[in-house]
């Protein structure tokens, strides 16, 4: 039985609140510190504890680094948070890394860019009939005195589909809440279980180490905080908290369906196949690599018990003939192990571990995936534009729709930023050239790589198909890095900061 204390963790880490189909994210700046702290002290923040009956509403809160400063957290404490968190998503050098340039540059963002940085995000979730009442009750009378509302991001309910029409939220890592995983270890088979410390601060990660977070001397103010596991004389402000990455990604649904339809010369089935090749899954979520229902000798399967649509690796598709190397899901999770070339026996594994043995030209570019998992908690926004509507002439311009992408991770640089930069944006991923993620790429020319708008589909016939001029379907409209503290740390921020 688990001994993990879920009552000190915010619920979003454990639950997607899928039944609570109404949600919004209030992006706020602190107007009055005393009132803001007072609101935070009494806010009914939802924990990760399972409750019966199931709650019908939920509330979670995250802070940016300027937000912690505005609430009075001392600079030496903030300085112990990770560099990425402190410097923020809109830093110029980071924008280049994340591909946030030209139309997606922070100067054009609706929020999160220069002069528009939120201090905190208050996330409201609820079943539709309970939601409005919950939001107004929770805000209470002091809300406007405590906070200035920079933006309030609404969400929509497309019944589990993202705006292009694909089922979303299928593949998520299994968090090792019971800490049975012994790290550091060598991983020979792909597994979906990932160390707790990859998602929660204050616990061992896949390297057996602890991510950056503030440790505070054990004085009376810090008294309520948990003890630091790796420094027992200190209190741990990070423990049971995580970093939350939020990005507003506008999706051009019309452009997406028109482009694939044009490429398929108006053949609807072929257009759908091309769209599925770009995503790496079919519209209803089936992987392009056939699902492996049982154990087949020599094939490394994720654990039984995972959702059926997730029980596959790319081991049987080493040449990308079924799921192209450049497809979004193959870039975002290549489902590899510590040895991408899968040495066939123990001796071959030992030779590989010692750094010898044959190397495929794709191997060096694909770091072991267990160090780069993220927990996705995003929600779609805007009005639904169906594929049929997208292909018909527009009577009036579509209103904006897209994804409020949210992911949780303990190391923004090694997890979210690595994924976005080294896999999704990379024009060299898996030995490819001239292309980046077909859904997310910004298509901007790079030094040494003037073309980034290709998409290649490998084929068993040996005749690969390459599409050129893939447009930019996604534009970044806002973004920020937040610290989503544990419950005790939240009380400390609201109470003890001086």
Q: How far apart are CA 488 and CA 224, in angstroms?
A: 7
Stretch 249-278: interaction string toward ligand HEM, x if CB under 6 A: x-x---------------------------
Residues 437-476 interacting with ligand HEM (rule: CB under 6 A): 439-440, 474
Closer Cβ to ligand HEM, 240 or 475, answer by number: 475
What minimum distance in Å lies between the beta carbon of 26 and ligand HEM? 22
Residues 137-196 interacting with ligand HEM (rule: CB under 6 A): 162, 164, 166, 168-171
Size of the site for ligand HEM (CB under 6 A): 27
Residues 273-332 interacting with ligand HEM (rule: CB under 6 A): 279, 281, 285, 328-329, 332
Stretch 212-251: interaction string toward ligand HEM, x if CB under 6 A: -------------------------------------x-x
Query: Which of these ranges, 74-82, 111-119, 418-426, 454-462, lies near ligand HEM under the rule CB under 6 A?
Result: 418-426
Which stretches does DSSP call E strand in 135-287? 147-154, 174-176, 193-195, 215-217, 227-228, 231-236, 242-251
Structure tokens at 467: 């599409």
Closer Cβ to ligand HEM, 251 or 496, answer by number: 251
Closer Cβ to ligand HEM, 405 or 492, answer by number: 405
| β-sheet bridge partners, residue 250 | 402, 475
What minimum distance in Å lies between the beta carbon of 380 and ligand HEM? 9
What minimum distance in Å lies between the beta carbon of 329 and ligand HEM? 4
Stretch 27-56: interaction string toward ligand HEM, x if CB under 6 A: ------------------------------
Q: How far apart are CA 203 and CA 195, in angstroms?
A: 8
Closer Cβ to ligand HEM, 9 or 408, answer by number: 408
Q: Is 436 in the site for ligand HEM (CB under 6 A)?
A: no
Closer Cβ to ligand HEM, 164 or 482, answer by number: 164
| Dihedral, CA of residue 425, residue 431, residue 434 and residue 438, to nearest 10 | -50
Closer Cβ to ligand HEM, 36 or 375, answer by number: 375
What minimum distance in Å lies between the beta carbon of 406 and ligand HEM? 10
Asked if residues 170 and 302 have their Cβ atoms less than 8 Å apart, the reply is: no
Start-to-end CA distance of the chain, whole Å, equals 40
Q: What angle (nearest 5°) sits at the alpha carbon of residue 239, between those of residues 237 and 240?
A: 125
Q: What angle (nearest 5°) sits at the alpha carbon of residue 342, between those of residues 340 and 347?
A: 125
Residues 348-377 interacting with ligand HEM (rule: CB under 6 A): 374
| Dihedral, CA of residue 95, residue 101, residue 103 and residue 107, to nearest 10 | 50
What minimum distance in Å lies between the beta carbon of 78 and ligand HEM? 25
What minimum distance in Å lies between the beta carbon of 376 and ligand HEM? 6
Taking the CA of residue 320 as centre, how many other CA atoms within 13 Å lie in the half-sphere pointing to its CB?
25
Closer Cβ to ligand HEM, 45 or 419, answer by number: 419
Closer Cβ to ligand HEM, 99 or 486, answer by number: 99
Stretch 112-141: interaction string toward ligand HEM, x if CB under 6 A: ------------------------------
Closer Cβ to ligand HEM, 199 or 405, answer by number: 405
Residues 6 or more apart in contact with residue 477 via CB below 8 angstroms? 109, 110, 111, 248, 249, 250, 400, 402
Structure tokens at 10: 């915010």
Q: Is the peptide bond before 478 cis (omega within 30 degrees of 0)?
A: no
Let me know if 327 is exposed, middle or buried by CB neighbors in 10 A (0-12, 13-18, 19+): buried
DSSP 322-376: SS-TTSHHHHH-----SSTT--SSHHHHHHHHTT-S---TTGGG---GGGS--EE
Q: Is the peptide bond before 158 cis (omega within 30 degrees of 0)?
A: no
DSSP 407-443: EEES-TIIIIIHIIIIIIS-SSGGG--SB--TTT---
Residue 437: closest CA among 318, 335, 331, 364: 331
Q: How far apart are CA 383 and CA 402, in angstroms?
A: 9
Question: Applying CB under 6 A, which of residues 10, 420, 475, 496 lies at the interface with ligand HEM?
Answer: 420
Closer Cβ to ligand HEM, 228 or 439, answer by number: 439
Query: Which of these ranges, 117-125, 211-219, 393-401, 402-410, lies near ligand HEM under the rule CB under 6 A?
Result: 402-410
The residues of the shown chain that bind ligand HEM, judged by CB under 6 A, are: 162, 164, 166, 168-171, 249, 251, 279, 281, 285, 328-329, 332-333, 374, 402-403, 405, 416, 419-420, 424, 439-440, 474
């Amino acid at each position: 039985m688990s001994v993990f204390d879920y009552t000190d963790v915010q619920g979003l880490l454990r639950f997607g609140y899928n039944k609570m189909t109404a949600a919004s994210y209030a992006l706020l700046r602190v107007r009055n510190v005393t009132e803001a702290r007072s609101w935070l002290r009494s806010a009914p923040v939802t924990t990760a504890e399972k409750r019966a009956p199931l709650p019908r509403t939920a509330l979670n809160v995250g802070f940016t680094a300027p937000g912690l400063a505005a609430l009075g957290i001392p600079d030496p404490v903030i300085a112990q948070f990770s560099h990425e968190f402190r410097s923020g998503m809109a830093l110029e050098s980071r924008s280049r890394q994340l591909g946030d340039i030209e139309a997606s540059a922070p100067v054009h963002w609706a929020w999160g860019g220069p002069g528009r940085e939120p201090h905190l995000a208050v996330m409201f979730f609820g079943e539709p009939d309970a939601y409005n009442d919950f939001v107004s009750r929770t805000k209470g009378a002091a809300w406007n005195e405590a906070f200035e509302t920079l933006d309030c991001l609404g969400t929509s309910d497309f019944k589990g589909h993202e705006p292009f029409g694909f089922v979303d939220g299928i593949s998520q890592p299994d968090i090792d809440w019971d800490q049975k995983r012994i790290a550091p270890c060598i991983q020979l088979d792909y597994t979906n279980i990932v160390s707790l410390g990859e998602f929660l601060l204050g616990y061992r990660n896949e390297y057996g180490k602890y991510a950056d977070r503030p440790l505070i001397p054990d004085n009376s103010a810090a008294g309520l905080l948990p003890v630091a596991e790796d420094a027992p004389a200190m209190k741990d402000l990070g423990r049971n908290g995580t970093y939350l990455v939020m990005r507003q990604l506008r999706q051009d649904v019309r452009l997406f369906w028109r482009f694939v339809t044009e490429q398929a010369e108006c053949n609807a089935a072929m257009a759908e196949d091309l769209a599925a090749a770009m995503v790496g899954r079919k519209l209803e979520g089936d992987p392009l690599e056939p699902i492996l229902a049982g154990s087949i000798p020599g094939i490394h399967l994720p654990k039984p018990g995972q959702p059926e649509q997730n029980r596959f690796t790319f081991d049987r598709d080493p040449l990308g003939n079924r799921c192209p190397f450049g497809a979004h899901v193959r870039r975002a999770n290549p489902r590899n192990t510590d040895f991408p070339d899968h040495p066939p026996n123990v001796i071959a594994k030992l030779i590989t571990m010692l750094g010898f043995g044959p190397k495929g030209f794709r191997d060096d570019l694909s770091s072991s995936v267990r160090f780069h998992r993220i927990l996705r908690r995003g929600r779609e926004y805007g009005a639904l534009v169906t594929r049929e509507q997208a292909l018909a002439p527009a009577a009036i311009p579509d209103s904006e729709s897209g994804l409020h992408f949210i992911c949780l991770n303990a190391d923004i640089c090694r997890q979210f930023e690595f994924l976005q930069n080294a896999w999704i944006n990379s024009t060299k991923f898996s030995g490819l050239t001239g292309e980046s993620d077909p859904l997310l790429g910004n298509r901007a020319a790079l030094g040494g790589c003037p073309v980034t708008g290709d998409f290649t589909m490998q084929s068993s016939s040996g005749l690969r198909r390459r599409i050129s001029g893939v447009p930019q379907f996604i534009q970044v409209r806002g973004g920020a890095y937040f610290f989503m503290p544990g419950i005790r740390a939240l009380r400390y921020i609201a109470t003890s900061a001086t």
